[in-house]
Structure 1
């Protein structure tokens, strides 16, 4: 039986500076994301995705190294807004590509589970022809929204675990 690893547990004392926003403005786009800790102690990623100037995404990222032993599943407790999101990991924070697991939110509190081996590699929206996630560590966690449409978004996150 594998041991549970808490990748991030939000609470009222969580420093919002642990997480950083990366929007399409790095490529000339106009999307705007924001991240904060709300009164309930949850992390909130919200903003607006714009398609202006070939934009179309907003993300929030957290860097810390976690060793994977026998864990196989990412479990996230969250409340979305009905939008589709990506949860992303990098095995090495210097990698250009990420491994992606997509999920649809329901507008209610829910548990999302993503199998590590089903997380596919991609770079700038293109799937790469290398194997799915098969590494022994994670150095970066991220949430991204980029559904090829202009939209507001609001994602509230309570915890991220590795099972």
Structure 2
């Protein structure tokens, strides 16, 4: 199942940037379709005013995903570490998180649902890992506890 396949004419209106500015920080993320037709999440993470993260979130109607066991994402990074996040229900405060490192080449990242742990505001929660039955939101986040520029190109996000 394909969740999103980026092309030059993709509708990205349900993709939203959420930076640490919601709590007074100064990070600045951006999202667009680049000239090659890939999703481009880029910007600067700032530690000013207790900041330190930028995120890109995709909201969609609830998907029944109980017949799948992992995300498969084709992306090209910048050598930095990121988080991929999922919410089974958009209104939940916690997300399920998987951390991954990027290279400067195209990669296929496989993320088993069973390895995605629950977290809220940086704290791991004592509840079971993601069961994968349904989802309403996915996200990419960078927050490596340092000020840095970043760029993540995204080609496809699917389930297997």
The TM-score range, normalised by the shorter chain, is over 0.9
In the alignment, which residue of structure 1 is the partner of 2:126? 129
**TM-score w.r.t. structure 1 length?**
0.96
Residue 36 (structure 1) aligned with residue 42 (structure 2): no
Counterparts of 1:106 and 1:115, CA distance in 2: 20
- Structure 2 unaligned segments of length 5 or more: list them: none
In the TM superposition, residue 67 of structure 1 has moved relative to its aligned partner by 1.1
Asked if structure 1 preserves the Cα contact closer than 8 Å seen for 2:68 and 2:132, the reply is no
Asked if structure 2 preserves the Cα contact closer than 8 Å seen for 1:7 and 1:66, the reply is no
Counterparts of 2:93 and 2:114, CA distance in 1: 19
Residue 72 (structure 1) aligned with residue 69 (structure 2): yes
Report the RMSD for the aligned CA atoms in angstroms. 0.7
Give structure 1 regions of 4+ aligned residues with deviation exceeding 6 angstroms: none
Cα deviation code 1:45-89 (max 9, x no counterpart): 000000000000000001112211321010000000000000000
The number of residues matched between the two structures is 159
**TM-score w.r.t. structure 2 length?**
0.97
In the TM superposition, residue 18 of structure 1 has moved relative to its aligned partner by 2.2
Counterparts of 1:59 and 1:68, CA distance in 2: 23
In the alignment, which residue of structure 2 is the partner of 1:47? 43
In the alignment, which residue of structure 2 is the partner of 1:19? 15
- Structure 1 unaligned segments of length 5 or more: list them: none
* Greater mean deviation of Cα atoms: 10-19 or 142-151: 10-19
Counterparts of 1:18 and 1:136, CA distance in 2: 22
Residue 112 (structure 1) aligned with residue 114 (structure 2): no
Counterparts of 1:114 and 1:29, CA distance in 2: 30
